[in-house]
Structure 1
Amino acid sequence: MARVLSVVALLAFAVVGQAVSPSTFVTSQDRARLKSVFEAAAPYPDTQSAYFSISGLKLLGAAIPNAQDACKQISKVIDGGNVASIYYAATAASALGNCKIEVPELRKTLTDAIKDDASVQDIVFAYLALKNLGLPVDDASTNKALLAALKTDDSPQSHGYAFLAAAELSGDVSKFVDNIEDVIAQADEVDDKYLQFEGGLFVTSLVVDGAYRLAEKTKKAPAVAQDKVLKFTNYFLSRKHVHQLKSAYHFLSVIKILTTNKFHVPVAVSRASPVAVTQAEPSVKVYVTDLLGGSLGEMTVTAESARHLGDDAVVLSKKQFTPVASDKSLFELNFLEAKPAKGFYKLTINVVPKKADPKLIGITGAEVEVKVTTKVSVENVEIGVADKDQATAAKTTRLVYPNKATNVLEADHHQKIVMKFQLKDKTTGQLLTAHQTFIRLTNLNTKEEIIFITEADTTLTNKFDLDVGASSKEFDSLSGKYSMELIVGDAVIENPFSWHLTDVSLTFPEGGETKPDKQSQYAKKPEIKHKFNEPEKRPPATVSLAFTGLVLLPLLILLILWIRIGVNVSNFPLSLSAVGFHVCLGAIFALYYCYWVQLNMFQTLRWLGIIAIPTFIFGNRLLSALASKRALWIAPVSVVEPVHFAIQSDHKRSRKHK
C-alpha cells in the first residue's frame, strides 16, 4: 500500500511540475522588439511616456539616445500641479543620471499629497518623487498615510503601489509584509497554469514586483508558494509579445526582478531544436536558462521519461542530456537511439545544478513536446477497371512510384475503377496508415477537381472504388478525360507526395463529350448587379378619381354644414400667429398630397420636419392668445355679479325698513 501511495504522490508531483514549469524565456529577438518599442516613444508627448521609455531602455542595458534632448523634453512636458506627472518626470530624470528638474514649484505639490485622506497612488508617487528629487521626506508620516489609505482602498493595485513605497521606507514595514500573502491569495488561476489579477499585466506585475522589492529590503522571502511563483511567471511569459509602451515596461520590470531576486528564481526549460526529430536531425536540444536567457551554471539535465501521446507508451527513462560545448545553457539528447515509433511524445525533464542553489524553482517536471517523423514508401499499387456486377475479374495494372501508367483507363457507367495500395515505414519496414490519403480526379479540359478518400482495411491496405454510374452527379455527368492522382500526407511523414497515377476516360449515361465552352469553376463569374423591386402597376384613373372624391367628400359635407348653421368668419383673428398656423397646417395637408403622387417616405419626413417647426411655434402663440382673450371675457362676469348682489340686498333692506 505504501508503494502505491508513493507512486501516486510521484505522479501528482509530475502533473504539478508539468503544469507550471516555464517553457520559454525572453530571447534576443524579444529584447530587440522591446527595445524598438521603448525607442519609438521619443519625442515624448508626456512625462509618463518618458518614464516608461527611459526606464525600459535602462532595464535592457541599452543606451538612451539623445539623453540631453530627452532631459529638456521632460522639463517641457511636466505638469507642476499633477503628482503623477512629477513622479514620472523625477524617476525618468533619475534614470538619465545627469538630468535636473526645477524643484521649488514642485515641492509643495508633493508634500501636500502625503496625507491620510489621499489615494494610495498619490501618496506613493509623491513619496518616490521626493526621494528621486533628493528632497527631504517624512517616512513616518508616509507610513501612517499609506496604512490609512489602504483601509479605504485595499485593492491589489493599491497594495502593489504600497509595496513599492514600503521597499523604500525606513522604520517598521512589517504590516506591509504581512499583507503580501493575503493579496497573493486574491489572484485568479487560469487553466491550472497561470495566475493573474483582475486588471491584467499591469496590476499583476505591480503586485509581484512590489512584493519582491519589499522582500529584498526585509531580507525575508515573500509569503508566496513556489508553484504560485511559477504560475505568475507563466502568465508574464505568455504576454511577452506586448507592443504597448506601458505593458512592455511592466513586463520587463517584473521579469527582471524574478531573475535577480535572492529568493525565487524560476528556471526555464525550452526546446531549442525543431519539434520534428528525423534521421537527419535525431537529437532533441533544450535550453536551461533563467527568464532572461542567462546561464545558470553547470547543470545535470535528465529526461525522466518520454511518453507517446497516442498510446502512453514510455520509450525511455532516466536518460541524461549531454552539454553542448559551445553554449553552457544548451543540452542535447539523441532521441532516436531509443528507436521510438512515429508520433508525438512528451519528454519530462528534471534539472539539477552541480552546485546546490535553493532559490532555483521549477527544476522538476518540465515538459517538452517532440514528434518523431519517418519516411514512407508506397507499395503493391494496383489499378484497373471492373464490371459493377463483378461478373468478370478486374483487369489491374501494377504501378511503381513515381511512374505513370502508359495506357489510359476507360470506364463507362456500367463499370467501376478499383485501386489498392500499401504504405510502409522505410525505417522499420512496418505497414502504416496516414491521416490524409486522397484520390484526386481533375478534368483535363475544365480543370475541375473531385477528391475522394481512400479507406484502409484490417490488413492496412488502402482501397478505392469508384462506381462511374453512381458518381455521375458528382461529375455533373461530364464525360471526358481525367487525370488521377494519389495524395498522401501526415504530420509525422517527412516525405508527403502527390503521384500522378494515370489518366482515365469516363463515360456517363446522360452526358457526352465535354463542351469546349464550359467554364471552369474558377473562372470569373458575371457581376451581380442589385435591382430594386419594380413599383406595382397603378390602378385605372377612374378608380383613383373615385377614391379621391370619397376622401374629399367629408370636407364638402363640412362646408355645407357650416353654411347651414352659420359660421362667424369675421371673428377669425387676423394675427400673424393665426394666419401662420393655418397656412402651415394647409402646407402639411399639401405635403401629404405630394407624398401620395410623387415623394417617397424619406423625402416626406424631411419636409415634414421643416414645416413642423413653424407650425408648433405659431400654434403655441395662437393658443396662448386665445386663452388670454377667454380670460378677459370671463373676468367682467366675476366682477359684476357681486355688485348686482349688493344692490339687491340694499333694496330689500330699504323696503323692510319702510
Structure 2
Amino acid sequence: MARNSGLLVLASVLLASIVSICDSAGIFNPISDSHRSAALELFSSSDGSFGSLEETYEALRTFEVLGIEKEPLTRTSVCASVSDALTSTSSSLKDLFQALRVNGILKCELNDKAFAEIVSRLKDSVNSANSLFDFYHSIGGLMLIKDQTSEVDVHLGDADRIFRSIKALSQSDGRWRYSSNNPESSTYAAGMALETLAGVVSLASSEIDHSLVATLKNDIMKLLDGVERYDDGTCYFDEKFVDAHGPQDPLSASLSVVRGITAFASATQESLNLPGDKILGLAKFFLGVEIPGSAKDLYHQIDALSCLENSGVSVPLILSLPATVISVSRKDQLKVRVNTVLGSAGPPLSVKLMQIFSSGSKDASVIDQELKFDPERAVHVLETLPKNVDVGKLDLARENDVALSANHLQKLRLSFQLSTPFGKAFKPHQAFLKLRHESGVEHTFVVGNSGKKFEIILDFLGLVDKFFYLSGKYDLQLTVGDSVMENSILKPLGHVELDLPDAPEKAARPPSQPIDLYSRYGPKAEIIHIFRAPEKRPPRELSLAFLGLVLLPFFGFLAGLLHLRVNLKNLPRSTVPATFAILFHLGIASVLLLYALFWFKLDLFTTLKALGFLGIFLMFVGHRTLSHLASVSAKLKSA
C-alpha cells in the first residue's frame, strides 16, 4: 500500500455511555472459540461432577456466559446435592448461598415451603451477622431467592440499619474490613461489600436514605482512585491484605470490585459517572489474560467481562478492522467491526471517519464521513474512499529484459518512475540496484531521487577497483521497497557484459564467497545397502553323512561301556561319598552339554570360560570320589 494510506481515525457516536478499545499500544481480541474449547477442557470431569457446589457453579456460569449448550454435568446428581444442602439444618450460610447460585442456573424442582424456611433462616442470619461474609452470604441468598420465586417475601424491613452496619466496615481509602474485630482492609472485601449493599437496596421494603447512597458513591470513587495502572492504560486492583479468607490475586480482586460496582449501579439506577479510561483499563486487563490455565481464573475472567458487558455504567467495545490493507486497485472498502468484550455485536451506534493522516507528513485531511452499517455482515462500511486516498498496486513501467555490453570507459544510466493507481508519482523510501558477477560477487548501489523519478549513473572507470577488475557477465536486479507499499518490487532487469582491464599486482582480490551451508550440512546422498549373495552350502545328504560321522564316536563310547559291562555296584552307599559321586557324574554330563552348546550356539571364549569353572568343580568332586573308592579298595585288599 502506498504511504498516503495513512491512519484512519474513527469516532463512535453511541446511544449509551460506551468506551471503545482501539489503542495502538496493543491489539485486544474479544472472547472466541478458543475460550470455549478451554472451558470444556478445564471444566471436564470423568464422573460429570466437580466436587463442591462452588466449583459446580463456576463451571455452569462459565458455560452460560460463553453460550456452551453442552452440559457435562449430571443434572440429577447436582440437583440432589442442591436439595440436600438447602434442606439440611447443618448447612452453613456459604453452602446455602452456593446451592442457590447453582439452582438459579439449573432450575431444580424446589417447593415454596423449602424456600420459605431458607428465607427465615437467612433473615435471622442478617440480623445476627457480625462479619462481612455473613452479610454477603445471607443477603446474596435472599437476592437469589427473589429471582427464583415470587411466592416468598424476601424484603428487609430495617434496611437502613443493615446498610449502616455494613457501611461501618468501610475505610477512608474505599477499601473494607471483613469484620469489626479485624483492622486490616481489603480490596476484595470492598467488592463484596458493594455487591452486598446493592442487595440491601434491592431488598429494602422502603427507599434507602439517599445520603447513605451518596456516601457509598464517594467510596466507589475513592476505590477507583487506588487502582493500579500499567503504561499502556491497563488497570487492575491488587490485593494488599493477605488473609485466609478467599483468593487474594489481582484477577479475583478486580472481579470482586467490577461485580460490586455493576451490581450497585444496577440496583440504584443512578449515574455513577465512572472514569471511562479506568473501565477501559479494567476491560483490557481481563482481555490481556488471554486464555487462563486454570478453571478458576477462566471463571474470574469470563464473569468479569460479562459484568462489564451487561452493566448500565460503561460498556467496553472492541473496534477492529477486518482488513488492515486497503487497495484502490482491488476496489476495497473500509470496513469497521464493533464487538463487545464477549464477541457479540455492539449496540446500535454510528461510526464516522473523521480524519486521514499521511505517514509522510503531519497534515491531516478532515473527512467527517459516516460509515454505512451492513446488518448482514455486522460491519460498518465506507463504500467510496476519498479521492486523496490513492493506494494500491504500484506500476513500474519498463521494457523487456536488456542485454548490454560495455568497457571501463563507458557509463550505465538507469532511471525509473513509480505511479499510483490514479497516475500520481510515488517516491518509495528505498531503491537499490544490484550487480551480481557470475562468480557470485555482488555490488549494491543506492538509486537516488531526482525530482519525480529515480536515477543512477554508474561510471565504470571509477568502479574498476570496487569491481576487483572482474570482467564478464553481471546480472542487473532492481529492488524497490516502502513500509506502506502493497507490492514491493524485486525484479531482474537483464545483464551487462563488462570488459575491464587486467588487475594490477597490488589490486585487492575479490572476497571469498561464503560456503553453501546446504551443501555442507544438508542431507547427503542416500546409501543403498547391497546384500551379499548367500554362500553356497553342500547338499543335504552330505551334511547328514557328516553328522553321522560326528556322532559315531559317541555311539562307539556307549558300545564300549556295554562291552565292559559297566554297572553301579561300586557306587558309594554312604550319604557324603554318594553325593560327591553324583555331582561328579553330573559334572561330566555338564561338560558334554557344554560341548553341544558350543557346537550349536556358544562361541569359543564363552565356552572356555564356562569350562574353566566346570573343570575346577570336577577336579574337586572327582578327587573326593576317587579317594573314597581308593580307600574302599585298600580296605578290601587288607581284609
Shorter-chain TM-score bucket reads 0.5 to 0.7
* 2:148 paired with 1:148: no
Find the structure with the greater CA-based Rg.
2
Distance 1:123 1:450 in 2: 80
Measured against aligned partners, the alpha-carbon deviations of 1:45-69 in whole angstroms (never above 9, x if no partner) come to 6545533322111123332423316
Which of 183, 187, 200 is 2:223 aligned to?
183
TM-aligned CA deviation for residue 86 of structure 1: 8.0
* 2:72 paired with 1:66: yes
Distance 1:247 1:270 in 2: 26
Which of 374, 388, 391 is 1:340 aligned to?
388
- What are the equivalent positions in structure 2 for 1:174-573 lying under 5 Å apart? 174=213, 176-191=216-231, 193-198=233-238, 200-239=250-289, 244-266=294-316, 268-288=318-338, 290-291=340-341, 292-297=343-348, 299-324=349-374, 326-327=376-377, 329-336=378-385, 338-342=386-390, 373-379=391-397, 400-401=398-399, 403-407=400-404, 409=405, 418-442=412-436, 452-458=445-451, 460-463=453-456, 465=458, 468-471=463-466, 481-504=473-496, 509=503, 519-520=515-516, 523-524=519-520
TM-aligned CA deviation for residue 211 of structure 1: 0.4
Contact 1:374 1:425 survives alignment (8 Å): no
Count of residue pairs brought into register by the alignment: 442
In structure 1, the partner of 2:21 is 22
Measured against aligned partners, the alpha-carbon deviations of 1:78-137 in whole angstroms (never above 9, x if no partner) come to 9x999878866663454333399x999xx99xx99999886x568645764687699999
TM-aligned CA deviation for residue 316 of structure 1: 4.1
Change (3 A) 1:518 1:460: closer
Taking structure 2 as the reference length, what is the TM-score of the superposition?
0.55
Distance 2:514 2:355 in 1: 61
Distance 2:471 2:100 in 1: 82
Distance 2:226 2:363 in 1: 40
The AA in structure 1 aligned to 2:235 is L
Distance 1:505 1:73 in 2: 89
The AA in structure 2 aligned to 1:427 is P
Distance 2:93 2:438 in 1: 76
RMSD of equivalent CA atoms: 5.1
The AA in structure 2 aligned to 1:188 is E
In structure 2, the partner of 1:626 is none
Taking structure 1 as the reference length, what is the TM-score of the superposition?
0.54
Change (3 A) 1:505 1:215: same
SS of the residue 1:524 aligns to: helix
Change (3 A) 1:145 1:211: closer
Contact 2:38 2:291 survives alignment (8 Å): no
Listed as ranges, the gaps of 5+ residues in structure 2 are 1-8, 13-17, 171-175, 178-182, 239-248, 523-639
Distance 2:428 2:76 in 1: 61
Change (3 A) 1:491 1:320: same
* 2:94 paired with 1:98: no
In structure 2, the partner of 1:8 is none
* 2:101 paired with 1:50: no
The AA in structure 2 aligned to 1:463 is I
Listed as ranges, the gaps of 5+ residues in structure 1 are 1-10, 343-372, 380-399, 527-658
Contact 1:114 1:126 survives alignment (8 Å): no
Contact 1:417 1:468 survives alignment (8 Å): no
Distance 1:124 1:452 in 2: 75
TM-aligned CA deviation for residue 241 of structure 1: 5.4
TM-aligned CA deviation for residue 332 of structure 1: 1.6
TM-aligned CA deviation for residue 470 of structure 1: 4.1
SS of the residue 2:274 aligns to: coil
SS of the residue 2:352 aligns to: strand
Query: Larger relative contact order (C-alpha < 8 A, sep ≥ 6)?
Result: 2
Change (3 A) 1:335 1:123: same
Contact 1:159 1:207 survives alignment (8 Å): yes
